[in-house]
Structure formats: C-alpha cells, structure tokens
Structure 1
Amino acid sequence: MVVTMLSDATGVPEPVLRLLLSILTAYPVALFYHIAFLRPMKTKWAPFIRNLYVVVTGLSISYFFNGSDIKHSLITTIVTWFICYFGDLIGNRELACAVSFIFNFSYLLVGYYVTSTDEYDVDWTMPHCVLCLRMIGFSMDFMDGAKFLKSSAPEKKTIDNKKIDPPVTQANLKAPKQPISFEKNVQLPTLPPLIETIGYAYFFGSFMIGPQFSFHLYRKLITMSLYADVNNIPAGSYKCALKSFFIGALYLGIQQIGVAYFPMSYLLTKEYNAEPLFVRLVSMWFAGKFAFTKYLGIWTLAEGSCILSGISFNGYDDNGNPEWNGLANVDMMKFEFSTSLNQIVGAFNTNTNLWTKIYIFKRLIFLGNKNLSSIGALLFLALWHGLHPGYYFCFFLEFVDIETEKRCVKRLEPYTKQLYDPMNKSNSIMILRRLHKVACWFGQTCGLHYAMVSFELLKWNRVIPAYNSVYWIGHIVVFSLLLADIILPRKRVKKIEDKNNTKLALNEKTKVISDYVNGTKIKEQ
C-alpha cells in the first residue's frame, strides 16, 4: 500500500520503486552487519550466526520485492543443493553439474517466456537471472572441488573455531592481485551446508542485481578470514560506501534528466525521422549513452552495501591504504574514457564478464578456437538476458565490432605506435597522440551506443525501424572495415639478418610502454 502511494506520488512505476527500495534497504542491513558481526565472536557458532543474519535479511528483502514469487528462487537454490548432494553421493559430480546447469538455465528461460512483455521487465526474473549464474557457478565449483580430494589441502588458520583460508595481508598483496570475486582457488572440495548455500544465494548486498562472486568469498566473509587481523578491521569502508551511494544516485539522476531529452522511444517517432541525418545520429548516440548510464548508476548504488558489509575488502594499495573496491561492477573513469571496446569489457559489468570468462568461455576450450568460444559465450549471455531478438542482435554486433577493432588496431599499429613512444615528446607528437585518443574514444562510443539501441528496443518491429532511420550506418561501417581488412594485402615485415641488429631488437622488445592504445599493449621496437 505504501509503495503504491509512493509510486502514484512520484510517477515511478511500482516495480522500479520496489527495486530501488530493496537496494537501499540493503544499506542499513549492511551497516548493522558491520557493527554487530564484523568482529571476532567467542563462540564456535559465529559463522552460523553471521550466515543466519544474512539468510533472514536476504529472504525478507526478497519477499518485499518478489512477494509470493520468492518461491522461484527458493526452489532453484534448494534443488541445486540437492542435485549437488546426490551427485556427490553417487560419485558423479560432473553429472550433477550438467543437471544443475540445465535445470537453472531452463528455469530462467521458462520464466522469461511466461512473464515476458514488450518492455524491459522488472519482476522476479530480474534477481533470478543473477541467481541463475550464482547456482551454475556454485555447482561448477563443487564439480572442480573433486580434484582437491585427491591431493592434500594446504594448511589453514582457525578463526571463530573454524578452519578457513589464509587471510589477505599487505605482504602477500605485493604481487599482482587476483579479482576477489573469483579468485584462483574457489573450488569446493565438500558441499557447504544448505543454510550457508541459501545465505550465499540471498546475500543482501548482491542478490538483486549483482555483483557476482564465488561461494568461496562468501565463506571468507562469514568466517572473517577475509582480514589479517580480525580485531582491527581496516578503516575507510563507511567513506567508500557513502561515495558509492552518492555517485550511484548522481548517475541515476543524470539518467532521468537525459532520457527526458533523448528517450529511446523517440527513435521510433515521425518527428525523429523528419530530422536531418546528422541530428538523428546525434540523438541515437545520446539515447544509447543514457541507456548505459542507468546501469552504471544502479550497479554503483548496489556496491555501497557490499562495501558496508565488509565483503568488498580488496587488501591494500602500494601505500598501505585499505581498498574497498573488490566487488566494483564498473570502473567509471575507465568506462567513460575508454579508447576501445576491449577496454569496455573490463570496465562494464565486470564481475559478470569475469564469471562468463571463467565458467563459459574457458569451458569451451574443447572447441579449439577462441572465436568459437567467444561466440558461444556471447550466445549464452544473450540467452541469459532474455528471449527478445534485440539481445541477440546486440551481442552479435558486439562480437563483430570487437573483431573488427582488433584487426584494425593490428593493421594500424605500425603507424600509431610511434605516437606513444616515450622518447617522442615534441608538441606535434603530443597533439597527434591526443587527437588519436579522442578519435578512438569517439569511434568506440559510436559503436557501443549504436549497438545498445537493439538491446533497449528489444523487438524486431522496433529495432528495424530505428536502424532504418539511419540507413544501418553502424552495420555498414563495421562490416566494410572487416571486409577491407580481409581483402587488402598486409605490409610485409623485413627480416633482420644482422645479428647485432637482431639482438638489439630483441632487447628493446622487452621494454613495455605502459600506455594502451585501443586496448592493445604497445611494445617499444
């Protein structure tokens, strides 16, 4: 009743309002967890108590958003656990993993089919798509855990009277960090208790819209093994959480203003088609831009509660300062100023992309071809998003865009890498370098925002008219570049026969310039 009244008063659709309130409710829940449970507890039941709090609060928030539809997430979580249990019982975890994958993915797709409308649906399938990946990853980790039973496990420290993994310390973080959402050793040698699996599925800071992370990380949180000194939790989480809150709210506010001027629906109007081509292209660029802004805002807003809970602790930086960006789902600066689509992959929906790389892309190694593995991963992501044809259109174009970009970068590298030679510090080179970066940024955003149109419009009867209005210019450009790269001959590189020159060239190749052009690391020649 209260939510309905607020919806009527604000004009925000009730499902969207419930989503925002659910994400915001996670903040006080996370704050209480930080105060009451993010400390040592002198009882062997400490991990159970922490997990129980997560279960109760997570289920409560889920019921507020889903109502009686909470049954869908409960069914899939419990059934997945029993699939793994019986798979272990018969000694065939591979079969259990396969059944779990089919069950979870099929359940989600049937849910899409039953609930789908012509618009982007904010209903129980939204958090369920997050749960789908979480349960598939859980069963795969359990399958991989069988390998550890055949070898001796490393020694583990005990906190709260329970064996846990070695903590993160300043000393062991001098090496390059692994993403904490899916570290190297996330396998599950033994099946976790059902109650812990439910806590993992309904973790209050992430079950609605992400971020994705492994059960291994969740267990490190409830056992306090995430910290080197449990009596001295690193400072800064409150400040970082508040920062995430305000940046997320700012982005959502900008998005609301932006879509008022450049709504995606405007691309389907007669007024839009009556505009000059240049104006239509500009309007499409901004419509795509503000469509992305929505995701940047909501993910950053959700990140704040993860930071407050303590699960986002990412060790220390080079100066010994604690970092709380371990589960950041978007790198704002990198996303906004990326000069390539390849960089965007690492800056947008980071943890889902990492999940796809680990659990789908790498598992398709049997195909023997990276392009086939990429197509398989993108097809999986398109299906995971829903049944609307716009998703498949978008992901197919994404694959072609990235492949074309990769080819163009390689072909133009002999001409562009001298711009990034640190020895070249002349004003003309600096100006050309900046112009090149601006050109790359503009090309990347044009391709990205253009593809986003089909992702947002969803249906063929809307996608096709929108692209017709700009004469499919984005498709023509990218396929023309791809075809040109295939047809045009490549410049031959002369072999250096002189031994001294060869040795010198090899030595110089080891010097890596720490600048990136179009996502490609440039080496000094």
Structure 2
Amino acid sequence: MDAVFTYIASIAGASVDQIKLISCLLIAYPLGSLFIRIPSSQPNLKHIFNLSVTLLFFLPVLNLHWGFVQLLGSVLGTYFIAANVHGPRMPWIVFAFVMGHLTINHIIRAIFSYSYETVEVTGPQMVLTMKLTTFAWNVWDGRRPAEELDKWQLQKRVTKYPTLLEFLGYAFYFPGVLVGPYIDYTSYNSLIDETLFKSTEGKGSRDSKRAVPNGRKRVAYRKMVVGLLFLGIFVVFSPSFYFGIAVTPWFVTQGLLYRIAYFQVCGFIERSKYYAVWTLTEGASILTGLGFTGFGPSGESLWEGAANVKVLEIEVPSNFKVLLDSWNMNTNVWLRECIYKRVTPKGKKPGFRSSMLTFATSAFWHGIASGYYLTFLFGGFVTTAGRLCRANLRPLVLPPPGAPSTISKRIYDVLGTFFSIVVLNYVSAPFMLLTFKDSMEAWRRLDWYGFWIVGSALVFFYSGGSKVLKGLRKEERKGPVSRPQTPGPHVVPPPFDSATDEFEKRLN
C-alpha cells in the first residue's frame, strides 16, 4: 500500500504522509454513505463500523500502530476514571490525564523535529483530547442538579453512562478521528439513534425509508469540491507563498511594501490547507448525518452543524472578533465550555484569571513550540485592541436605528477588514514558523508593522483616547431632539455590542 501512496506523492509533488491523510478523508465519503444506511435499530453495528474504519486508517494506511494503541489507552483511561470517580474533581483528573499524555507526545514531536507535513499521533490526539475532556464534563453535569446547569450543560449532559462499545464508537467516529470535527457524546448519540432528524418530523422532504432529510449528498459533495479546490491552491502555490519565505535571503532584498503585500498572499495560501482538510471532513461528516440543523425557509435541509471554519468571514472579516469566531470554531466551543466557564468560581463572572488559564490551555493543547506562545500572547493584545475599537470608535459611526448606513460607517468597515487581515497574517506567522528565532526575524523583516498597528491603538486608548471619544459621544447626544407630534412607541437604541467583553466570543 505504501508503494501506491509513494507513486501518487511523486506525481502530485506532495509528501507521502499528506497523500495518505487526504486519501483517508476522501475514503470517508463513500464510507459515510454506507454508515447512514445502517438502521438505527442496529446501534452496535454503527459503533463497530466506526471502530473498524478507524482501524483501517491507522493500521494499514497510516502505519500508526503504536499511535493507535496510545489513543486507545487515553480512551480506556477516561472511560474508567469517569465511571469510578464521582466527585467534582473527576473532570479535572481526566483533563490532567489526557492533556498530560498529549503534552508528552508534543515533546517527543519537538525532539525529533517532525514538520507539520508529518502525520503522527499528536494530530488525532488533539481532537481526542477535546472529545474526552468534554465527555468527562458532560458526565459530571449529568450527576448535578438540573437547576445548577446552564443551557449548553443541560443539553449536553450524560445521564446514562455508555457501554464500552458505545464509548469506543464515539471516541473513534471515523470522519473526524484524524483532524476533526470534534463532537460531544450527546450529539453522537443522537446521530446513532437518529433522534437528530426526528426532532423536525413533518418539515421538509425526507427519504421514504428513513428519517434522514433529503439534500445531504448535495451539500456534502459540494464541500468535497470546495475542499479539493483549496487543496489544489495549496499544492500549486505553497512552494512560492509560505510564511517561511520571510526568513530567506530573497525576501529581505525586496521593498518593504512589497514584502508586506507578499506576506498577505502567503497567509491565505498557508490557511488554504486548513480550509481544505476541515471542509473535506465536514463533507464526510454530513454524509453520515452529522451537522443537520433543520430546514430553511424553502424547505431545504440545512447542514451547518459540522462546520469548523467560515472562509469568507476569515478572509474578508468586518473586524477581528468576527474573524476569530469563524476560525477553528469547534475548538472555540471546547475552550469556552470546558475551560473558560469551568475555571470561573461559582457565582462570579469570568475575569482575567479565567482568560489567561484558557489562553494557556490553548497553547499547551497546540504544542510546546515557542511560536505558538508568541501567537497567543500577541493575540491577546490584538483582541484587546479590537475590543477597544468596537467600544469607542464604532459608536461614533453607527447610524441611528432604522437609518441607512453612512459613508463614515462604510469607511470604518473597510478599514476594519483591512487591518484585521493584515494583523492576522502578522500574528499567525510564528504559529507556522514555530521557533522564536525565525519568528523574530520574520517580524523584523516586516518592520514590526503588526506591533505598530496594535501598539498605537493601545497607547491611544489607554493614554486618554477613550475619554476623548466618550466625550464626543456625549456631545452628539446633546444635539436637538425632535419629538413626534403624536404619541408613539419609545425606541431604545441597542446596546453597543455587549458581547465584546465576553472572552468566549473571541477565543482562538
């Protein structure tokens, strides 16, 4: 089998591991169509199917025999801990167990200097870490009184402990076992027993023999085409457009504006590989039935629940908050629900401590390379600057309720899009360059433009700019007010983006 992948890799100009990974993602499409044909009356057969396909991926295709044994160890350990530890520390014990195991493998990866082109256990283990820690919290929520839970916790809690086969099927759900999407146990269970579809019976068109809504294949294979398109973009252009080119001798010979512009193209090409694999896995998941979110106004079925990325909102964002909300969305949910909320003391609002612990968890989850920590550290300042802009500048350009958009508002939106994308490419470079030395050198050759943009904004706001802008808003409110001649409903302007202070809306 390796000979076949080696031959394909030589033609495509890609690494053997990359060809193997993409092959697994594409094989999942016809297998997804087989999976959904297993009747809901045979749930064990569905669990066995998941486990069998995962074994096919890890053993004969990827040759990750020891890697699969390690993943199985994390799964069995979590299953035992969650079943036998009944106190409130149980989820944290599971977290320490699986995250510690992941960190050890990150260290091993760093010691052997594996590139991101090398497929090994840490990629699937990162997805599994999210699933196992979420499961532990869902089990704990199932043991707590319902009145203590919020909406998400109430919906996702596990009140009936699964059998070992059910848990193995969940842990090794094959479309997402390699790169995601991460899925919680309740959602997986609703996929197995098809209650995911039965909740909307009587709406939209469905298969005559099953509860599955029509339109699933159309959406899934469209995702496959889009994923392959992004993959083609990456394969064709990545040899010339990549963040590492910033530390080559050629880059420094170019003019500053050319270097900055060239770097923006590099950012899109680097992200295209993530768009490719996440969109491919989304399509395969949809074929199994995952991701169904109801019906549209025309009765068409909607399949948005398995998405992990919104490309347009990332490449043409209205602001940095929207950009971050659209990237690696499943990980954002995990960080919000399993870290950010859980480290906040009961009865208190999340604050600086909760934010920093969540940032630290995200960094450790990604690995131990210094580039990750540079990206997340600087990312914290970027989100702060963005929040201050939305809180202080945006209200000045907002038109009155019901009025059309103004020129100043459109200019604000254009500038928000421009600065969001150029700052994104600057702050994400260390994430790909990995080392502190290369990251600093790349930033130096870009004349530290990201620091100038973000730093200038922070200095302005914290040195009195916020007070000046608030004063301008007060002056606007003192203007003449025309009163209606006849009594009418009192219209209250909406609050200024009250969600911007919520860390969970801007996690990466």
Contact 1:211/1:352, CA 8 A, preserved across alignment: no
Which of 15, 18, 21 is matched with 1:19 structurally?
Answer: 21
Equivalent residue, structure 1, for 2:389: 408
Amino acid corresponding to residue 77 of structure 1 in structure 2: V
Change (3 A) 1:465 1:438: same
Note the 1:246-325 alignment, pairs <5 A.
246-325=225-304
Equivalent residue, structure 2, for 1:51: 47
Residue 481 of structure 2 corresponds to residue 487 of structure 1: no
The alignment partner of 2:301 has SS state of coil
Q: Distance in 2 between matches of 1:240 and 1:205?
A: 16
Note the 1:120-269 alignment, pairs <5 A.
120=116, 121-147=118-144, 184-228=154-198, 229=201, 231-269=210-248
Change (3 A) 1:75 1:496: same
Cα shift at 1:423: 2.4
Q: Distance in 2 between matches of 1:130 and 1:72?
A: 14
Which of 471, 492, 499 is matched with 1:509 structurally?
Answer: 492
Which of 429, 437, 447 is matched with 1:471 structurally?
Answer: 447
Q: Distance in 1 between matches of 2:159 and 2:385?
A: 42
* Cα-to-partner distance string for 1:268-298 (whole Å, 9 max, x where unaligned): 1111111111111112222122212221121
Which of 395, 399, 422 is matched with 2:380 structurally?
Answer: 399
Q: Distance in 2 between matches of 1:349 and 1:423?
A: 35
The alignment partner of 1:314 has SS state of strand
Cα shift at 1:432: 4.5
Note the 1:64-83 alignment, pairs <5 A.
64-65=61-62, 66-83=64-81
Residue 112 of structure 2 corresponds to residue 115 of structure 1: no
Note the 1:327-338 alignment, pairs <5 A.
327-338=306-317
Q: Distance in 1 between matches of 2:488 and 2:418?
A: 34
Equivalent residue, structure 1, for 2:206: none
Equivalent residue, structure 1, for 2:205: none
Amino acid corresponding to residue 392 of structure 2 in structure 1: R
Cα shift at 1:260: 3.0
* Cα-to-partner distance string for 1:95-120 (whole Å, 9 max, x where unaligned): 32221110100000000111221632
Which of 340, 365, 373 is matched with 2:354 structurally?
Answer: 373
Equivalent residue, structure 1, for 2:418: 442
Cα shift at 1:40: 5.0
Cα shift at 1:122: 2.6
Contact 1:118/1:459, CA 8 A, preserved across alignment: no
* Cα-to-partner distance string for 1:6-42 (whole Å, 9 max, x where unaligned): 33343311221221111112111101112x21x454x
Residue 30 of structure 2 corresponds to residue 28 of structure 1: yes
Change (3 A) 1:293 1:421: farther
Which of 394, 399, 403 is matched with 1:423 structurally?
Answer: 403
- Runs of 4+ in structure 1 off by over 4 angstroms are 494-501, 510-514
TM-score between both structures, scaled by the size of structure 1: 0.83
Note the 1:345-364 alignment, pairs <5 A.
345-364=324-343
Q: Distance in 1 between matches of 2:462 and 2:67?
A: 51
Q: Distance in 2 between matches of 1:20 and 1:447?
A: 30
- What is the CA RMSD across the aligned residues, in angstroms? 2.9
Cα shift at 1:421: 5.5
Q: Distance in 1 between matches of 2:272 and 2:397?
A: 31
* Cα-to-partner distance string for 1:360-411 (whole Å, 9 max, x where unaligned): 1111222854343222212211110000010011011111111101102222
Q: Distance in 1 between matches of 2:496 and 2:212?
A: 37
Q: Distance in 2 between matches of 1:347 and 1:4?
A: 35
Q: Distance in 2 between matches of 1:325 and 1:424?
A: 31
Change (3 A) 1:3 1:118: closer
The alignment partner of 1:260 has SS state of coil
Q: Distance in 1 between matches of 2:431 and 2:323?
A: 16
Contact 1:15/1:122, CA 8 A, preserved across alignment: yes
Contact 2:397/2:408, CA 8 A, preserved across alignment: no
Residue 44 of structure 2 corresponds to residue 61 of structure 1: no
The alignment partner of 2:89 has SS state of helix
Q: Distance in 1 between matches of 2:404 and 2:284?
A: 46
Contact 2:46/2:169, CA 8 A, preserved across alignment: no
The alignment partner of 2:295 has SS state of coil
Cα shift at 1:303: 0.6
The alignment partner of 1:315 has SS state of strand
The alignment partner of 2:411 has SS state of helix
Amino acid corresponding to residue 28 of structure 2 in structure 1: A
Contact 2:40/2:193, CA 8 A, preserved across alignment: no
Q: Distance in 2 between matches of 1:306 and 1:477?
A: 40
Q: Distance in 2 between matches of 1:272 and 1:108?
A: 36
Q: Distance in 2 between matches of 1:40 and 1:129?
A: 30
Q: Distance in 2 between matches of 1:372 and 1:49?
A: 45
Cα shift at 1:3: 2.0
The alignment partner of 1:262 has SS state of coil
The alignment partner of 2:175 has SS state of coil
The alignment partner of 2:239 has SS state of helix
Q: Distance in 1 between matches of 2:114 and 2:418?
A: 31
Amino acid corresponding to residue 383 of structure 1 in structure 2: F
TM-score between both structures, scaled by the size of structure 2: 0.86
Q: Which runs of 5 or more structure 1 residues have no equivalent in the other structure? A: 152-177, 520-525
* Cα-to-partner distance string for 1:152-208 (whole Å, 9 max, x where unaligned): xxxxxxxxxxxxxxxxxxxxxxxxxx9xxx675111123211111111111011111
Compare 12-21 and 370-379 and name the one that shifted more: 370-379
Cα shift at 1:255: 2.2
Contact 1:331/1:347, CA 8 A, preserved across alignment: yes
Q: Distance in 2 between matches of 1:100 and 1:393?
A: 28
Q: Distance in 2 between matches of 1:12 and 1:246?
A: 19
Amino acid corresponding to residue 226 of structure 1 in structure 2: L
Q: Distance in 1 between matches of 2:371 and 2:223?
A: 31
Change (3 A) 1:487 1:334: same
Change (3 A) 1:372 1:476: farther
Q: Distance in 2 between matches of 1:505 and 1:132?
A: 56
